[in-house]
Amino acid sequence: MTLPDAPLNELQAFAAVAEAGSFRAAATRLGVTPSAVSHSLRTLEARLGLRLLHRTTRSVAPTEAGARLLATLAPALADIRRAVGEAREAADTRGAPCA
């Protein structure tokens, strides 16, 4: 079975909403609009063919599938952030600016 690729920005949006419990807080954290976060989530859910979040007018919470994805995704995103930070530090110490 081939799984659909999910762009990193969609996965980051999902994790931010699931962790923050709101689209507005996730949007602030990501530096985008709540509408952009909502669009990313709808696209990700359509791409994967499953609902990741329970949405009500007052709350957002992961579904069982969303909770399982978040359990694996959150540490992976932390690893990516750490790797990018280490690469930046290495470049800073070697004086290798971006062109």
The helix/strand/coil state of 3 is coil
- In this predicted structure, what is the pLDDT of residue 95? 67
pLDDT tens, residue by residue, 43-55: 999 999 999 999 9
With tokens 């062109």, the residue in question is 99
Domains in the chain, CATH or no CATH each: 8-92 (1.10.10.10)
pLDDT tens, residue by residue, 51-82: 999 999 888 999 999 999 999 999 999 999 99
